[in-house]
């Protein structure tokens, strides 16, 4: 199951992202963003991105461990048959559930559709948090855009065209509002896209483990149980 391990692609992607952040910091762009965003929405989005990435890493480690356990279960089934221990992990637990179900079916066909749905939900775990976090960061960026435009347009209402000092001050406030709108939009979009890439790696690895489990159980487990294998006797 090494080809299904999402840890290495995640580490490569995160390393490239971290290198890009270092470059932005070196050229002073991050500091400029912090200084220009008086709403602090951009730093909040960055903190949420870091926390969500850590959650993604935790889920990747869990899925990687389940992949290794599924591979071990497959080797045990191929070597000892379904009558022996199939090890630990969600896939091994699914196999044990199938064996228990077949024992109560009394020779009838073993339908694992519902059990596969349960297995899929267990494998996905809290993967859906990625979509929620990505959408939240995008919405925060749009919120910053609206606040920035409000800050930009607010000075126009009471502007006196003949007062040069007031015009100069209004132009400065409009510039600050535009900076807030642009920076929050940029950070929100970038963080949302980068987080979606991370969770797409996680979802892809989860789907591959599920497909591996379906293939393993349909070919080796269900067929043996319906054919009067050792576990069914």
Q: What is the mean pLDDT of residues 197-216?
A: 94
Please give the model's pTM, rounded to 2 decimal places.
0.85
Q: Would residue 231 count as lying in a domain?
A: no
Tens digits of residue pLDDT in 96-145:
888 888 888 776 788 888 999 999 999 999 999 999 999 999 999 999 99
Q: Mean pLDDT in the chain?
A: 85
Q: What is the mean pLDDT of residues 212-216?
A: 92
> What is the span of the domain harbouring residue 73?
2-226
Q: What is the mean pLDDT of residues 21-34?
A: 91
* pLDDT value at 178 more than 80: yes
Q: Would residue 233 count as lying in a domain?
A: no
Q: Would residue 110 count as lying in a domain?
A: yes
- If phi over 0 gives left and psi between -120 and 50 gives alpha, with beta otherwise, what is residue 158? alpha
Q: What total of structural domains would you count in the chain?
A: 1
* pLDDT value at 222 more than 60: yes
d(CA 14, CA 9): 8
- If phi over 0 gives left and psi between -120 and 50 gives alpha, with beta otherwise, what is residue 193? alpha
């Amino acid at each position: 199951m090494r080809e299904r391990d999402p840890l290495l692609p995640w580490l490569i992607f995160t390393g490239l992202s971290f290198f890009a952040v270092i470059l932005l910091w070196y050229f002073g762009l991050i500091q400029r963003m912090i200084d220009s965003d008086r709403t602090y929405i951009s730093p909040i989005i960055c903190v949420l991105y870091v926390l969500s990435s850590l959650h993604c890493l935790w889920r990747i480690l869990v899925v990687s461990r389940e992949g290794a356990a599924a591979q071990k279960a497959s080797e045990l089934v191929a070597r000892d048959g379904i009558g022996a221990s199939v090890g630990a992990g969600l896939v091994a637990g699914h196999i044990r559930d199938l064996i228990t179900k077949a024992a109560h079916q009394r020779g009838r066909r073993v339908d694992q559709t519902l059990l596969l749905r349960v297995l899929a939900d267990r494998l996905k775990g809290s993967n859906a948090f990625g979509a929620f976090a990505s959408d939240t960061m995008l919405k925060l960026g749009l919120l910053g855009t609206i606040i920035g435009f409000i800050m930009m347009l607010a000075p126009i209402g009471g502007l006196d065209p003949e007062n040069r000092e007031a015009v100069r001050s209004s132009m400065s406030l409009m510039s600050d509002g535009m900076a807030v709108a642009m920076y929050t939009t940029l950070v929100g979009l970038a963080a949302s896209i980068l987080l979606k890439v991370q969770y797409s790696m996680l979802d892809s690895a989860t789907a591959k483990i599920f497909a591996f489990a379906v293939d393993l159980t349909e070919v080796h487990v269900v067929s043996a149980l319906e054919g009067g294998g050792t576990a069914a006797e």
